[in-house]
Structure 1
Amino acid sequence: MATKRRPLRPNLGGGQSNSSNMNFRPGGPDISRSEARGTRPTAAPTSIREILVMAVIHLCKKTIFFNTDLKVALYLGSLFIISIIGDFLPFPKTYFARSDNLFNLYFVKVGWGWTLLFLVPFTVLSSYTITCGDMKRMLRHHLPRVMIATFFWFFWTKLFNIVETTYGRCTTKGYPSKSMCLKAGHLWQGFDISGHAFILIHSSLVLIEEARPIIKWETIKEHLRNELHNRSVSETTGSNPLRALNDEQIRSLQFLYTRLTPIIRTLFIGMAALQLLWDIMLVGTMLYYHRMIEKVISGIVAILTWYFTYRFWYPTNGLLPEAPGNGSFYYQRDSFVFKRPTHLPNCTQPASSQVSSSGLRANYNGNGPTQQPQIPTFMGMPLFTNVKAASAAANLLQAEQKKGEHQHTGLES
């Protein structure tokens, strides 16, 4: 016959009969309201427009942030394989084989101009935001990356042209210079390192690296909301990346993030579309222009330039400029980690831990099994972000489980 359910927490309620019989007490553990769960502000409702924008941003991220190391390997492999096939077995002519096609005339020939059109405002606005409006730091640590990329573009393209002019010759005698030969309607034969392949690969890699601040950009809004709440209740602990900022920096970040995020998102979408166009045009260059060796050399130069700057120079501490995404705070963490002080029980289980009959983890060491309480979680995330609340919940859970074990032992005896 069914019996009346035993209250899970018979000792809670402070003598009030109506609360002592409740299986689930609204307040949870016996802690103050400021320490209880659910006190953090929740996010505002998301509009349909915002959902659509985030869907487009997500698609652009998938496109532009394709594994960079793998993309570099594909660039080199494709330049070699496709180009060497085209040298011996010419591909069928298409619209992209014409040097006067629309994309070649209005995009590739002025490719670095299109790259700067999106790159400069995105770098300026994103770095100005994550430096909390520090104009000097933005000009000193972030904008120089664009200038350095522009310098390498100018240096290498001019060097390629010098090599072709110096070591080439006209198909008709009597024309010692390339300009005179071309004006007379003749052909100039020389080692023409592919400037198109270089600029397309160089632009693509620079766009990929400079777009990295958009990764986890939306979390800044959440960090701002939580940090403003923490300061309103004088909360001094936590792992919020904005915790070290002063009030003026917080106000500046909140203003800039709200005002500039729509523009930054629009620029990022343009950068992703442009990077995809450069990859498509690179395939056309592989198929129809230059010899294999000329394209492979230009690709190697572009990749070595990218590696030297974005993988060696910028990440090095103490050298200017800084890497993309660096600012007054760091918001691009992999995931939320609940950090507890050392005085709280450790819930990390070694490989030798086993589950006892009561559901507690029993860690076996040289002195026998020892039981450790666990912080309540939901879907792998802690229910408490406050240290005192987490400690109270863990102790209460441990007490209830021990009491259940004693009652179970009494029934068996």
Structure 2
Amino acid sequence: MATKRRPLRPNLGGSGSSGPQSSNSNMNFRPGGPDITRSEARGTRPTAAPTSIREILVMGVIHLCKKTIFFNTDLKVALYLGSLFIISLIGDFLPFPKTYFARSDNLFNLYFVKIGWGWTLLFVVPFTILSSYTITCGDMKRMLRHHLPRVLIATFFWFFWTKLFNIVETSYGRCTTKGYASKSSCLKAGHLWQGFDISGHAFILIHSSLVLIEEARPIIKWETIKEHLRNELHNRSVSETSGSNPLRALNEEQIRSLKFLYNRWTPIIRTLFIGMAALQLLWDIMLVGTMLYYHRMIEKVISGIIAILTWYFTYRFWYPTNGLLPEAPGNGVFYYQRESFVFKRPTHLPSCSTQAGVQVSPGGARANANGQWQSGKLGGQSQQQQQQQQIPTFMGMPLFTNVKAAASAASLLQAEQKKREQQASLES
């Protein structure tokens, strides 16, 4: 036999009240109702717009591309060096079976590898400009000074090293037929030029791959900018001054500019990122072909080491220091790629309650039911344990960001729970 459904909230109007007020007070409202004002109920955030099927498919492709291009970079560098040494060494003594990629006139070699840096710039330049222009909130000078120079520096190193490789081969080589002192005259006569030919193909493929990986990093957590904008606009509409939103320090003009640029350029940025991921995968495939069929092992290993050292010097040593221009990819007037705060529910408390209406801050301070903070530690708990003290959560996310609202909800739930326990004891 079904029993009468009990309200989630106690009767605020008292047991003796009647009429509409009494019926309204017994309705199943979420904890925090008319006694909590809108400014206090900070946990209520504006919801996101419905996601279309097209958006879901695009995000699925973006996720797959992220998994492909953001493979552990340090491990990938180790694989580059190890493969250049082992596979090339085997190929020097045991020639691999000839395939389409063994032909120097294959489609990929003619139209992609030989102009590989041009293809890389075709995707990297617009992606870097649009993404950095967005995260700088339309600050053209900051974008030109702090982000675009990375592409120019990468282009300089590509030009410098490839020219140096050519000088080494020309200066320290000889023609297979006597009477030809220069490489150009030897090749024009149909002969072969023997020299120390440091693999320009291996260098350009590794250099391009690593540049693509690093310059694509602004796409990491790019979608969270939309959520930050929505929450920050909500906070400002209710005059909320606290919180950890990375956009809180932006002025109104920067917020408007960021919202406009993000909505306008995000589809193009996504498309360019998909192209960058596909191109980076192609460079890795062509690098395997270079390992199997072209150059000697020592020539490929040296070129690979130079490409990796160039990447390490620029993207791992130079740019992250912020001592000299430019900055690392993803840096702007706000930082959106930090780790999210995770709230875990304590196992010794009910799922939607706190200890006697006391709320604990991440720093170890306490707040009573009136929302007043009290410093000090709870029961000698460690700092890490204090950080895990929770406000009411649902699916791992906090229901409230305001202490008073959370304490009020917890008090109401505890009162309701005690009332149910008393009723259960009387019925038994």
Normalised to the residue count of structure 1, the TM-score between the two structures is 0.86
Give secondary structure in 2 for the equivalent of 1:295. helix
Matched, 1:199 2:204: yes
Residues in 2 aligned to 1:203 and 1:5: alpha-carbon distance in whole angstroms: 65
Show the 5 A alignment for 1:9-158: 9-10=9-10, 12-13=12-13, 16-19=21-24, 21=26, 24-26=28-30, 28=32, 30-36=35-41, 39-158=44-163
Residues in 1 aligned to 2:10 and 2:264: alpha-carbon distance in whole angstroms: 53
Q: 1:388 to 1:318 in 2, by over 3 A?
A: farther
Q: Is the 8 A contact 2:135 2:334 kept in 1?
A: yes
Residues in 1 aligned to 2:40 and 2:380: alpha-carbon distance in whole angstroms: 35
Q: Structure 1 counterpart of 2:305, which letter?
A: I
Matched, 1:345 2:359: yes
What is the CA-CA distance between 1:43 and the residue it aligns to? Answer: 0.9
Residues in 2 aligned to 1:266 and 1:12: alpha-carbon distance in whole angstroms: 55
Q: Is the 8 A contact 2:10 2:412 kept in 1?
A: no
- The equivalent position to 1:376 in structure 2, one of 388, 392, 406, is 392
Q: Is the 8 A contact 2:174 2:195 kept in 1?
A: yes
Show the 5 A alignment for 1:257-296: 257-296=262-301
After superposition, what is the alpha-carbon deviation per residue over 1:75-126, rounded to whole angstroms, capped at 9, x for unaligned? 1111111111101100001111011111111110110001001110100010
- The equivalent position to 2:406 in structure 1, one of 387, 390, 397, is 390
Q: Is the 8 A contact 1:373 1:394 kept in 2?
A: no
After superposition, what is the alpha-carbon deviation per residue over 1:165-211, rounded to whole angstroms, capped at 9, x for unaligned? 11111111111111111111111111111000000000000000000
Give secondary structure in 1 for the equivalent of 2:360. coil
Q: Structure 2 counterpart of 1:25, which letter?
A: F
Matched, 1:212 2:217: yes
What is the CA-CA distance between 1:224 and the residue it aligns to? Answer: 1.1
Q: Is the 8 A contact 1:91 1:288 kept in 2?
A: yes
Q: Structure 2 counterpart of 1:381, which letter?
A: M
Q: Match of 1:245?
A: 250
Matched, 1:302 2:304: no
Show the 5 A alignment for 1:216-231: 216-231=221-236
Residues in 2 aligned to 1:316 and 1:82: alpha-carbon distance in whole angstroms: 36
Residues in 1 aligned to 2:92 and 2:310: alpha-carbon distance in whole angstroms: 27
Q: Match of 1:355?
A: none
Q: Structure 2 counterpart of 1:272, which letter?
A: A
What is the CA-CA distance between 1:216 and the residue it aligns to? Answer: 1.0
What residue ranges of structure 2 are gaps of 5+ in the alignment?
Answer: 345-356, 365-377, 382-387
Q: Is the 8 A contact 2:135 2:331 kept in 1?
A: yes
Q: Is the 8 A contact 2:43 2:398 kept in 1?
A: no
Residues in 2 aligned to 1:329 and 1:377: alpha-carbon distance in whole angstroms: 28
Residues in 2 aligned to 1:121 and 1:57: alpha-carbon distance in whole angstroms: 18
Number of paired residues?
A: 390
What residue ranges of structure 1 are gaps of 5+ in the alignment?
Answer: 351-362, 367-371
Residues in 1 aligned to 2:406 and 2:105: alpha-carbon distance in whole angstroms: 68
Residues in 2 aligned to 1:397 and 1:374: alpha-carbon distance in whole angstroms: 15
What is the CA-CA distance between 1:28 and the residue it aligns to? Answer: 2.6
Give secondary structure in 1 for the equivalent of 2:321. coil
Residues in 2 aligned to 1:239 and 1:347: alpha-carbon distance in whole angstroms: 13
* Greater displacement, 327-336 / 288-297: 327-336
Q: Structure 1 counterpart of 2:263, which letter?
A: T
* Greater displacement, 274-283 / 34-43: 34-43
Residues in 2 aligned to 1:237 and 1:13: alpha-carbon distance in whole angstroms: 34
Residues in 1 aligned to 2:307 and 2:107: alpha-carbon distance in whole angstroms: 25
After superposition, what is the alpha-carbon deviation per residue over 1:352-371, rounded to whole angstroms, capped at 9, x for unaligned? xxxxxxxxxxx8659xxxxx
Q: Match of 2:384?
A: none
Show the 5 A alignment for 1:174-193: 174-193=179-198
Give secondary structure in 2 for the equivalent of 1:202. helix
Residues in 2 aligned to 1:276 and 1:301: alpha-carbon distance in whole angstroms: 21
Q: 1:7 to 1:222 in 2, by over 3 A?
A: closer
Give secondary structure in 2 for the equivalent of 1:33. coil
Q: 1:192 to 1:376 in 2, by over 3 A?
A: same
Q: Match of 1:328?
A: 333
Q: Structure 1 counterpart of 2:140, which letter?
A: M
